[in-house]
Amino acid sequence: MKPSEDAPLSCFGVLTWLLLHDAMDRSVPQISAVGGVAVVGTLVAGLLFEAWPAPLLRPPGTQRAALFATAAVVAVIAGYGLRSLSLAAETWTRDPAQLWVAVAGLNLIGATIIVHAVLWRRWPVTVAD
């Protein structure tokens, strides 16, 4: 990306932070958890589902909306699933459970999806001849 393309994205990130942290009074662990599951939803919808069901739709705007909706649904399911798992597995006294959700989403699930889809060339993994 060129520096001129980076500036709007950086501004959008700062504005999102200000909206979530200052205007909506969300904590850093909550924002991290939302970001982590948003990345998981995007990776699952884009890499594993290969943008399904968007290619079945004809107008490009409808395809983008379907891909966004798929990523959002996966992110919500991942968020609630990881949150439930974190609360069932541990009593969190020192660090909030949202940090575990962020780490699990970004480092464990996200990295696994990238390795699975990019290095292993999609799924199911085929046996080499």
CA gyration radius, the chain: 17
Q: At what angle do helices 60-89 and 28-43 cross, to 10 degrees?
A: 130
Q: What is the per-residue pLDDT for 76?
A: 94
Q: What is the per-residue pLDDT for 10?
A: 87
Q: What is the per-residue pLDDT for 72?
A: 94
Q: What is the per-residue pLDDT for 73?
A: 93
CB 96 within 8 A of CB 27: yes
From start to end of 32-98, where are the E strands?
A: none
Q: What is the mean pLDDT of each run of 10 residues along the chain (129 residues)?
A: 78 90 90 90 84 79 86 92 87 81 87 80 57
Rounded to the nearest 10 degrees, how much is the dihedral formed by the CA atoms of 60, 62, 68, 73?
Answer: -150
Q: What is the per-residue pLDDT for 15?
A: 93
Q: What is the per-residue pLDDT for 127?
A: 52
CB 117 within 8 A of CB 47: yes
